[in-house]
Amino acid sequence: MIILAFDCAGAACSVAVVRDGSVLARDSRALSHGQAEVLVPMIQATLAAAGLRHADLSAIATTLGPGSFTGLRAGLAAARGLALATGLPAVGISTLEAAAHAVAPDERRAASVMAAVDTRRDDLFVQVFGQDLREAGPPRVETASDAASRAPAGALVLAGDATAPLLAALRAGERDAVVASSAGPIDPTVVARLGAERLAAGRAGDPLRPLYLRAPDVTPAPARRR
């Protein structure tokens, strides 16, 4: 199975082409805005680097959020457009799930995983996963101190691109944790792996429904007075 996977829900825009677990090509750029302009050219360039065309792909995988509203819209629009144009199946993966599943097995042995993604505000997108990486609670948007207060007992590994404030809050509460070596922007190869597993198991579900944990920042302009 050849998967084209991408993520632009956070502070980076990343693309990968993965065949049966082997990475054929990948690209990643730190980017806080402008994802809609660079994503499609990055996809084309990554496919070319892998020596493939759209017709060679088996499926598409992208992140669903939580994350940047602008980035999520760009990623989902690209995935829907490619799926419509090629007839390929498309599957969506939570950014928090992708962050958790990036943690190496030896780092999370006998430990829970707490994934934290930057909201670009004074809080975090957070979700806890068990030792088997099954969801141990719903995704939340909350301050680092509130997230730390909800941290499960026992060994804890932090994943994602917002581990620093969460670790500081844990230590302020006299609790410690290990930061995973994979902590940082979402790895598109993990998105590809999870997408392939989900499709193989027939668990794609409603694949491209965005995961928003709060309302958009943009609000309708007030009506003009006549």
Residue 58 sits in a domain whose CATH number is 3.30.420.40
The whole-number pLDDT of residue 204 equals 65
Task: Read off the pTM.
Answer: 0.92
Same domain, 32 and 112: no
Helix (H) or strand (E) holding 91: strand 90-94
Q: For 169-192, what is each residue's pLDDT tens digit? A: 999 999 999 999 999 999 999 999
The whole-number pLDDT of residue 152 equals 96
Number of domains in the chain: 2
Compute the distance between CA of residue 4 and CA of residue 25 in angstroms, rounded to an integer: 10
Domain that holds residue 119: 103-179
The whole-number pLDDT of residue 215 equals 63
The whole-number average pLDDT for the span 141-163 is: 97
Same domain, 48 and 121: no
The whole-number pLDDT of residue 17 equals 98
Same domain, 108 and 66: no
Same domain, 168 and 193: no
pLDDT above 60: residue 91? yes
Classified as helix, coil or strand, 146 is: helix
Residue 151 sits in a domain whose CATH number is 3.30.420
pLDDT category, 220, cuts 50, 70, 90?
very low
pLDDT above 60: residue 130? yes
Same domain, 18 and 70: yes
Is pLDDT larger for residue 220 or for residue 213?
213
* Residues ≥6 apart with Cβ < 8 Å to 207: 89, 90, 91, 92
Same domain, 143 and 90: no
Same domain, 14 and 48: yes
pLDDT above 80: residue 93? yes
Mean pLDDT, the chain, whole residue set = 92
pLDDT category, 31, cuts 50, 70, 90?
confident
Same domain, 91 and 12: yes
Same domain, 50 and 20: yes
Flag whether 224 is in a domain: no
Same domain, 56 and 128: no
* Residues ≥6 apart with Cβ < 8 Å to 140: 125, 126, 127, 147, 150, 213
Same domain, 22 and 38: yes
Flag whether 205 is in a domain: no
* Percent of the chain residues past pLDDT 70, beyond the cut: 93
Flag whether 217 is in a domain: no
Same domain, 137 and 160: yes
pLDDT above 70: residue 106? yes
The whole-number pLDDT of residue 219 equals 46
